[in-house]
Structure 1
Amino acid sequence: MYARDVRERVDAGRWPDVAAVPEASTARTAITRRVLRHALGRLPLLVRFPDGTRLGLGGPLVDVHDPVAFHRRIGRSGLIGFGESYLAGEWDAPDLVAALTVLASRAAELVPAPLQRLRGLWAPRHPEAQRGTPDGARENIGAHYDLSNELFALFLDETLTYSSAVFRSLPASWERMAPAQRHKIDRLLDLARVGAGTRVLEIGTGWGELALRAAARGAHVTSLTLSAEQRTLALERVAEAGLADRVSVELCDYREATGTYDAVLSVEMIEAVGAEFWPAYFEAVDARLAPGGRAALQAITMPHDRLRASRDTFTWIQKYVFPGGLIPSTQAIESVTASRTSLRLTRRDGYGAHYAETLRLWRERFTDRAAHVGALGFDATFRRLWTFYLAYSEAGFRSGYLDVQQYLFTKDAARTDGAPRETATSTTARDTTTAAAEGETAP
């Protein structure tokens, strides 16, 4: 009854694939049920069904309220169906993050090897409209970041920073969020040696905090965004800070940027680019950076084997949260920059645990302010969707499936022709999980 009640309240015009349970053949549903029961039975979960069936080795609780719909959705569209089943109320978990963390930690094992090898036959493919072309990128960015500045302000801190913070120590608290976001930004600025007179290009403005802090150091900043909503608020913040003479915020694709800069900075923007356009993104960074310049980037990453397995698959996150997005691996980033640019990887610091805490604090604040989200016109399905998105992301970092890196690249003045060169070795790139928290900067 619970799942039916939730589905009946779903706006079918806005959420058609949540409101309706898909048709599926009896054979396909039976195979899905068998595969799932085998997989769930080996996990440290407790999965309960209405008929009294219990699966799992014990652990976080998952209640399946509507097994028929649950199996049909997953059999029809895999993890997209799993997420849609949650939005429809067909399953739930008292500790959603804990349950999703178990699943994320075993992601490579959930689908049997024979089905993994046939992934191209059953997994949904990326829609052509979501490709990261200049027009597609504008549509993709607008779909998420132009939702409402007021929405993001409800769960972000006063800096309006929508990327991982770097805390001085863990666990974190809400009171430490804004200082941790400023610490993250200052660390990137230090890596790029941004100071008085530095010419800075920022790819991905957000709501302007990095540009503000760079300009406060005396830098001259050109910041690029594809979000009209973000640009409007960023310009207001720049004007209020009295820094309009040092900061320009342009509605501009990274491929359309011009000029030469001493430093290029970009925070969690590459995830929106798409694998097809990663070379173009790094070539743009390279082209805009002066010889001897420094690029400081922050990027979410996944293991390379999981990237290879899933890069062509259309996911729940791409369908409902970040159209066109794809998280790279460190290997992919290092391979592209080594083969297509004159950028030299100098340093890499990872701090996934900090992102898990950042997401926890956002999720708790979003949940606490659910009524305010509703007052902005976002319905119950949207609120359930965003709760799932934030929990799903947090679980990725808590399980180690996801990480986040701060990269420092320097432009090799002796190699500015874009000719291939050898990939940086592990001795060239520092890969640590503690340096970011300790506030170290690059030499």
Structure 2
Amino acid sequence: MNTPATGPRHRPLDHVPRPAGPSPAAGKDSARWPDVFCPPPASAARTAVAGLVVRRALAALPLRVRWEDGPVTGREGPLLRIHAPRAFLGRLGRDGLIGFGESYMAGEWDADDLVGVLTVLASHVTELVPKPAQRLRGVWARRHPTAQRNTLTGARENIHRHYDLSNDLFAAFLDDTMSYSSAVFDGFPGDREGLAAAQHRKIDRLLDLAGVGAGTRLLEIGTGWGELALRAARRGADVVTLTLSDQQRDLARRRIADAGCADRVTVELCDYRHATGSHDAVVSVEMIEAVGEEYWPVYFATLARLLAPGGRIALQAITMPHRRMLTTRRTHTWIHKYVFPGGIIPSTEAIAQHAGAAGLRVATDDGFGAHYAETLRLWRERFTARAPQVAALGFDATFRRMWEFYLAYSEAGFRARYLDVRQFTLTTAHPAAPHGGSR
């Protein structure tokens, strides 16, 4: 995570409140959230079709469902409460899963166990829509807007919309390392160590994979808030780290200076495509998801160009099954619209294919998706507990509900194994090294 349809109704991230004092409204702010509180009229026909499909799908799932004030249906599973059925179905009929997320933001449905409900849905995602309707996906699914392409200008704007919201917002739910990517827990499951220690374990594993030690010339693509660069500098490495976020750059520089490592770490506001030099090691943590499929060939070619002979690349990436990636790669989703514009999650096959085309080879590959679910649970609980602090930063009630949905939605993806997170070592060396085992 270290990651609109055209026209005025699909610019919601432009309406996300910036931290400039308390929000004037903590609810139905139609000016900031036009598609949430002033949606276009829903077609009666689409609403009716959505009703048939959704009611049938929910009845077949291990869920209990209450439609408005009616009886609870279903005998097992978490409870999904639909408070405004017509509005809920109208959004689904008009905008599919984007409408599903917006309906939650509007308070039209709820759940005591939001992650539980979303995990059930993610586990049965291929069964929710009848197969004949799935073949018509291209008719109803929205396409990625041109404005979100990761051109040099577009990538900077996409990053700005998420990572420049507020350093204080991220500090409200991250641990003291300010690491915004999956941790690796010791003795998982049932581990009770602190999140910061688990984040350091993740960072150390990546630095070990890349062979980072005293004198290593390390390039990091995607600075975050500087913890990996700090950890590498303390090993004696000379680090250049790149970001497109002004706020991340500023805080990372302060943290590095305060730690006495400014002589070993250079933080640059620079697109990876403009990076120069020859580096013994390259590390990039959950940044490939923000590259965009169109630019994967450029990304891997850039990694190969920047790597010194005999060097090693360590990547941490969120992944999804290849067939699912191919099915959804052109679909504009709720996450694209409200959280990560321009992003796409690769498959392990896509990473190996594009790395190979650039002259790189996947030497090790280790998956640990359950650890991301746990990381997200801790972030979500911390975010929920600190809602008043987030509100004081100027983020209204709708934003907070959106962010809770995003964290729960992501956690559910890993719990359902719809998503995974993996650490890869890429090299140009031969012969192949043995693959690491999945957790």
Q: TM-score, normalised by structure 1?
A: 0.91
> Would you say 1:383 and 2:400 are equivalent positions?
yes
> Would you say 1:243 and 2:261 are equivalent positions?
yes
Q: Structure 2 vs 1, CA of residues 67 and 28 (structure 1 numbering), >3 Å: closer, same or farther?
A: same
> Would you say 1:354 and 2:371 are equivalent positions?
yes
- Would you say the 8 A contact 2:43–2:94 is kept in 1? no
Match of 2:343, SS?
Answer: coil
Q: Distance in 2 between matches of 1:47 and 1:126?
A: 32
| Residue 196 (structure 1) aligns with | 214
| Residue 302 (structure 2) aligns with | 284
Deviations 1:332-361 (A, max 9, x none): 1111111x2121111000000000000000
Match of 2:194, SS?
Answer: helix
Q: Distance in 2 between matches of 1:8 and 1:153?
A: 21
Q: Distance in 2 between matches of 1:182 and 1:29?
A: 49
Deviations 1:387-411 (A, max 9, x none): 0000000000001000000000112
Unaligned runs of 5+ in 2: 1-24
CA drift of 1:51 comes to: 5.0
Residues paired across the two proteins, number: 415
What is the identity, as a one-letter code, of the residue corresponding to 2:224? G
| Residue 416 (structure 2) aligns with | 399
With 13-22 and 191-200 compared, the bigger mean Cα shift is at 13-22
Q: Distance in 1 between matches of 2:161 and 2:131?
A: 35
Deviations 1:158-191 (A, max 9, x none): 1000000000022467751000000100010011
Match of 1:432, SS?
Answer: coil
| Residue 293 (structure 2) aligns with | 275
> Would you say 1:206 and 2:224 are equivalent positions?
yes
- Would you say the 8 A contact 1:162–1:206 is kept in 2? yes
| Residue 301 (structure 1) aligns with | 319
With 53-62 and 201-210 compared, the bigger mean Cα shift is at 53-62
State the identity %: 65
> Would you say 1:61 and 2:66 are equivalent positions?
no
What is the identity, as a one-letter code, of the residue corresponding to 1:404? V
Deviations 1:276-310 (A, max 9, x none): 11111111111100121100000000111111111
Q: Distance in 1 between matches of 2:361 and 2:36?
A: 46
Q: Distance in 2 between matches of 1:174 and 1:229?
A: 32
- Would you say the 8 A contact 1:142–1:226 is kept in 2? yes
Q: Which has the higher contact order (CA 8 A, sep 6+)?
A: 2
- Would you say the 8 A contact 1:261–1:290 is kept in 2? yes
Q: Cα RMSD over matched residues?
A: 1.6
CA drift of 1:9 comes to: 2.8
> Would you say 1:231 and 2:236 are equivalent positions?
no
What is the identity, as a one-letter code, of the residue corresponding to 2:277? G
Q: Aligned match of 1:432 in 417, 430, 437?
A: 437
> Would you say 1:147 and 2:165 are equivalent positions?
yes
Q: Distance in 1 between matches of 2:192 and 2:47?
A: 44
What is the identity, as a one-letter code, of the residue corresponding to 1:430? H
Q: Aligned match of 2:129 in 93, 97, 111?
A: 111
Q: Distance in 1 between matches of 2:166 and 2:69?
A: 43
Deviations 1:113-164 (A, max 9, x none): 1111111111011111100111000000000000000111111111000000
Structure 1 residue ranges (4+ consecutive) displaced by more than 6 angstroms after TM superposition: none
